[in-house]
């Protein structure tokens, strides 16, 4: 591929494997498109798909996947730990190779317009594609979630950018935009007390006075009897994984709660892992250029 754009759509289904596979099929066997990764989480009741490709081919595949999700997912029957306002909740485009952020913004708007018209699915533009400052932050766009969409859309400042001015009856609405790569990183806590995980998340996230490029929330992993601080690191070069991990550990100490594990959702830039490995191993003057696979791919 000469030009490579990445897309990481999040779907509000993490339990029904048949539905997840049907949605993922939209990215299989398509020229100019490569399905890189996908996973579903039952507690969050959410799936994250990572796909890359030539911009035009990727656009068509993403539109197809959104249509399939609108057809298959009914949010009136949906329950899970993760906030959501749509069957397809968020669709970010990320420039990777020989494409600019401006091109990612244009692509996101083309997808948004098509989705709004073809599926009767309201679309909000967010992040770099946002049509207004108050729509840049995803959490602000999603506030009120699916259940609060009808009242929210009646407010002039929350009229959708594309599509109808009322929620899709079963699919809600979707946020589409362009952004830089982020790291979805979760830290598991040895307690089933969700209040503790929520309190810690408020301390580590930016709006609570924590790390500048960190969004966080507490999540209950009921099947495992533990909780989790679920984080999005929106600029891993400035808010490193190890810094987020250690701040969660520090805040957990005040409650006498141990960190019992961690996980990465989806794909992660090699540089982010190298930076964290260098920190914990105390490596001096180490860089990603010293990683064998990185040199082979040059």
The tokens for 66 are: 């959104």
Q: Are 231 and 186 in contact (CB under 8 A)?
A: yes
Report whether pLDDT(167) > 90. Answer: yes
Whole-angstrom Cα distance, residue 279 to residue 273?
Answer: 10
pLDDT in tens, 95-140: 998 999 999 999 999 999 999 999 999 999 999 999 999 999 999 9
What pLDDT does 143 receive? 95
pLDDT at 73: 97
Which pLDDT score is estimated for 296?
A: 85
pLDDT average, residue stretch 200-224: 95
- Poorest-confidence range of 9-13, 199-203, 236-240, 293-297? 293-297
Per-residue pLDDT reduced to its tens digit, 230-282: 999 999 999 999 999 999 999 999 999 999 999 998 888 899 999 999 999 99
Dist. CA 47–CA 209, nearest whole Å: 30
Tokens of 177: 């935009």
The per-residue pLDDT for 161 is: 98
Separation between Cα atoms, residue 126 and residue 163, nearest integer Å: 15
With pLDDT > 90 as the criterion, what percentage of the chain qualifies?
89
**How far apart, in whole angstroms, are the C-alpha atoms of residue 292 and residue 227?**
37
Which residues are known to be catalytic?
82
The answer to whether residue 297 scores a pLDDT higher than 80 is no
Task: Quote the pLDDT of residue 1.
Answer: 72
- The answer to whether 270 and 241 are in contact (CB under 8 A) is no
- Residue 238 CB: number of other CB atoms within 10 A? 12
Tell me the chain's radius of gyration from C-alpha atoms: 19
Average pLDDT, the chain: 95
Residue 91 has pLDDT above 80, yes or no: yes
Calculated CA dihedral for residues 260, 265, 270, 274, nearest 10 degrees? -10
């Amino acid at each position: 591929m000469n030009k490579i754009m990445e897309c990481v759509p999040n779907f509000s289904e993490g339990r029904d494997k048949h539905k997840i596979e049907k949605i993922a099929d939209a990215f299989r066997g398509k020229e100019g498109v490569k399905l890189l990764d996908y996973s579903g989480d039952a507690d969050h009741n959410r799936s994250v798909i990572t796909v890359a490709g030539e911009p035009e081919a990727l656009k068509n595949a993403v539109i197809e996947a959104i249509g399939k999700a609108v057809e298959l997912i009914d949010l009136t029957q949906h329950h899970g730990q993760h906030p959501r306002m749509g069957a397809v909740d968020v669709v970010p485009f990320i420039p990777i190779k020989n494409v600019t952020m401006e091109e990612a913004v244009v692509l996101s708007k083309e997808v948004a317009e098509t989705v709004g018209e073809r599926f009767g699915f309201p679309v909000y533009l967010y992040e770099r594609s946002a049509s207004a400052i108050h729509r840049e932050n995803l959490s602000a766009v999603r506030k009120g979630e699916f259940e609060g969409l009808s009242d929210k859309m009646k407010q002039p400042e929350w009229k959708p950018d594309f599509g109808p001015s009322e929620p899709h009856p079963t699919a809600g609405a979707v946020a589409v935009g362009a952004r830089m790569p982020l790291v979805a990183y979760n830290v598991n806590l040895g307690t089933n007390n969700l209040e503790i995980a929520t309190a810690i998340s408020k301390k580590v996230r930016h709006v609570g006075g924590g790390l500048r490029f960190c969004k966080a929330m507490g999540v209950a992993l009921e099947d495992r009897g533990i909780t989790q601080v679920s984080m999005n690191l929106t600029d891993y070069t400035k808010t490193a994984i190890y810094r987020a991990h250690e701040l969660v550990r520090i805040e957990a100490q005040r409650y006498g709660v141990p960190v019992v594990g961690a996980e990465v959702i989806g794909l992660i830039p090699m540089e982010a892992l190298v930076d964290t490995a260098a920190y914990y191993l105390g490596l001096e003057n180490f860089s990603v250029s010293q990683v064998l696979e990185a040199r082979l791919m040059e």
